[in-house]
């Protein structure tokens, strides 16, 4: 697209592979709003099958500056989350680990960007099974987020690990009555 105020090249790329797919869209511009800057954005998604029923997926959202997406009407998002994850879902098991990169485009948060978590990581393992005549579950989870600021007075870096066990058993009585213990 060429006009007196901008020269913009938009792109879109999609491809299917045997184990998965990728899709990208983006644009690159030179304009009169930021005369000495090359402005751009790139959004992409993909998912690939891995051995042992695992899935690798990603979702990437990048922009050159805080106002490019809204100036050109590409997106009204005011926070960009980019994520890469590996997971496996089976009838009795769920496993997921992921890392998320965060970037705010909000004017009110630009000055405190280094106080907002820049990277968030999660991992979870959940297993369901039959035990003592009921259904049991075992879950282990880990979470962490870090911010770019090294100042201890504002914001916090956080890391936690948790685990839980649950169990439930139900009995049916008479005309549609159900009793459950947990």
Residue 149: pLDDT over 70: no
> pLDDT digit string (tens) for 68-98?
999 999 999 989 999 999 999 999 999 999 9
Instruction: Write out the DSSP string of 116-151.
Output: SEEEEEEEEEEEEEEETTEEEEEEEEEEEEEES---
Place of tokens 């009204």: 76
Q: How many Cβ atoms from other residues are within 10 Å of residue 35's Cβ?
A: 7
Tell me the average pLDDT across 11-30. 97
Give dist(CA 29, CA 167) in Å, integer: 57
Alpha carbons within 13 angstroms on the beta-carbon side of residue 27 total 20
> What pLDDT is attached to residue 158?
86
Q: Is 150 left (phi over 0), alpha (psi -120 to 50) or beta?
A: alpha
Q: What confidence category does residue 153 fall into, taking pLDDT thresholds of 50, 70 and 90?
A: low
Residue 155: pLDDT over 70: no
Give dist(CA 61, CA 84) in Å, integer: 11
Tell me the average pLDDT across 97-111. 86
Give dist(CA 114, CA 153) in Å, integer: 12
This prediction has a pTM of 0.82
First to last CA, the chain: 62
Nearest to 56 by CA among 88, 9, 23: 88
Tell me the average pLDDT across 23-31. 97
Strand partners, 169: 181
> What pLDDT is attached to residue 152?
62
> pLDDT digit string (tens) for 107-147?
887 677 777 788 899 999 999 999 988 999 999 999 998 87
Q: What confidence category does residue 43 fall into, taking pLDDT thresholds of 50, 70 and 90?
A: very high
Give dist(CA 92, CA 53) in Å, integer: 13
In degrees rounded to 5, what are phi and psi of residue 164? Answer: -150, 155
């Amino acid at each position: 697209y060429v006009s007196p105020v901008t020269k913009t090249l938009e792109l879109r790329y999609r491809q299917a592979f045997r184990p998965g797919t990728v899709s990208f869209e983006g644009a690159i511009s030179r304009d009169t709003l930021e005369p000495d800057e090359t402005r751009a954005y790139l959004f992409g998604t993909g998912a690939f099958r891995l051995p042992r029923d695992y899935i690798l997926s990603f979702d990437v959202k990048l922009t050159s500056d805080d106002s490019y997406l809204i100036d050109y009407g590409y997106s009204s998002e005011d926070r960009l989350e980019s994520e890469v994850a590996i997971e496996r879902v089976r009838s009795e098991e769920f496993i997921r680990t992921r890392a998320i990169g965060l970037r705010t485009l909000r004017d009110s948060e630009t000055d405190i960007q280094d106080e907002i978590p820049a990277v968030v990581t999660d991992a979870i393992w959940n297993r369901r099974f039959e035990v003592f005549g009921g259904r049991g579950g075992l879950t282990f989870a880990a979470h962490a987020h870090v911010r770019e600021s090294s100042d201890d007075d504002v914001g916090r870096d956080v890391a936690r690990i948790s685990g839980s066990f649950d169990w439930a058993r139900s009995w049916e009585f008479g005309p549609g009555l159900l009793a459950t213990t947990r």
